[in-house]
Amino acid sequence: MKKVLAFDIDQTLNVAKTPITDEIASLLTKCLDHFEVCPISGQKFDQFLIQIVDRLPNPTTEQLSHLHLFVAQGTQYYRYQDNKWQQIYNYPLTDEQVQKISNTLEQAAKESGYWEEDKLQPGDEIIENRLSQVTFSALGQKASTDAKYAWDPDCKKREKIVARAKELSPEFDYEIGGTTSINAITPGMNKVFGMTHLLEELDVTKEDILYFGDMTQPGGNDYPVVQMGIDTITVRNHEDTAYALKGILGIL
Ligand SMILES: [Mg+2]
């Protein structure tokens, strides 16, 4: 019997960068009665609140105590304690690292012909400092979901940018995630980092965890979890995840 259900967010619990559906919200809340629930994603803390926590239907303090937020690929960890979300740890990048990664991604995208600054909405940005990682979002954060889906469905554009970025600054790792994103990190600061800390913080073993992700193929941002030897369910979208959760909750 698994003790922990861990989830990628984008495309696993939601339509990338949008709040989870009522169905997923209800299923996750039920899961909190039986499992430790650990969303882990490259996104920032405020997006965990907007996309997941605020969508849960009237969770109790007891239920929230079983929700563990592994922000920025688990380089930041938040728990609900004393009636508020508290940061338990944080491993940020240095200012120099952020600057170098930002310059590298911009140059690589420009040289690849995929620097789409003209398509950005006002106030939006392509490169975002998420403290523990730097994220490239080809069309910015505010682009429509349709536009994001259409931009790079086969990941070929991002693979080209990543190949060039690796030549320019090989000391960093670059992972493809979501629909238009590339996450740049220092080596090891990927989901393995988050999952390793999860094991420690929750005092569980790899065998206790069941992980859900949509990018479990080599090069995808969920692949490091597969490589760790954690049991993984590959989903295409949140409908697949809902189907699997209903099965899990149904047999309890
Ligand atoms: Mg994903």
Query: Does 138 lie in the same domain as 84?
Result: no
Query: Does 77 lie in the same domain as 9?
Result: yes
The full DSSP string for 77-141 is EEEEETTEEEEEEE-PPPHHHHHHHHHHHHHHHHHHT---GGGPPTT--SEEE-SS-EEEETT-S
Per-residue pLDDT of the chain (252 residues; tens, 9 = 90+): 899 999 999 999 999 889 999 999 999 999 999 999 999 998 889 999 999 999 999 999 999 999 999 998 899 999 999 999 999 999 989 999 999 999 999 999 999 999 999 999 999 999 999 888 899 999 998 999 999 999 999 999 999 999 999 999 999 999 998 899 999 989 878 899 999 999 999 999 999 999 999 999 998 989 999 999 999 999 999 999 999 999 999 977
- Give distance in angstroms: CA of 167 to centre of ligand 1: 25
Query: Does 234 lie in the same domain as 203?
Result: yes
Q: What is the pLDDT of residue 43?
A: 87
The overall pTM is greater than 0.85: no
Query: Does 121 lie in the same domain as 54?
Result: no
Query: Does 206 lie in the same domain as 177?
Result: no
Q: How many CB atoms lie within 10 A of CB 62?
A: 10
Query: Does 106 lie in the same domain as 146?
Result: yes
Q: What is the pLDDT of residue 252?
A: 76
- Give distance in angstroms: CA of 242 to centre of ligand 1: 15
Query: Does 70 lie in the same domain as 40?
Result: yes
Alpha-carbon torsion (190, 196, 199, 202), positive or negative = negative
What is the span of the domain harbouring residue 143?
95-185
- Give distance in angstroms: CA of 82 to centre of ligand 1: 31
Domain end (from 158, 185, 212): 185
Rounded Cα–Cα distance for residues 12 and 157 (Å): 22
Q: Are 243 and 212 a contacting pair, CB within 8 Å?
A: no
Rounded Cα–Cα distance for residues 58 and 16 (Å): 24
Q: What is the pLDDT of residue 196?
A: 95
Residue 30's SS3 state is helix
CA 56 to chain centre: 19
Q: What is the pLDDT of residue 153?
A: 95
Query: Does 207 lie in the same domain as 168?
Result: no
CA 32 to chain centre: 20
- Give distance in angstroms: CA of 215 to centre of ligand 1: 6
Q: How many CB atoms lie within 10 A of CB 8?
A: 27
Q: What is the pLDDT of residue 178?
A: 84
- Give distance in angstroms: CA of 30 to centre of ligand 1: 22
Domain end (from 159, 185, 211): 185
What's the CATH code of the domain at 80? Answer: 3.40.50.1000
Query: Does 86 lie in the same domain as 34?
Result: yes
Query: Does 84 lie in the same domain as 24?
Result: yes
Query: Does 151 lie in the same domain as 40?
Result: no
What's the CATH code of the domain at 155? Answer: 3.30.1240.20
Residues 6+ apart with CB under 8 A from 82: none
- Those residues whose beta carbon sits under 5 angstroms from the ion ligand 1 are 8, 10-11, 214-215
Domain end (from 142, 164, 185): 185
Q: What is the pLDDT of residue 225?
A: 95
Query: Does 180 lie in the same domain as 201?
Result: no
- Number of folded domains in the chain? 2
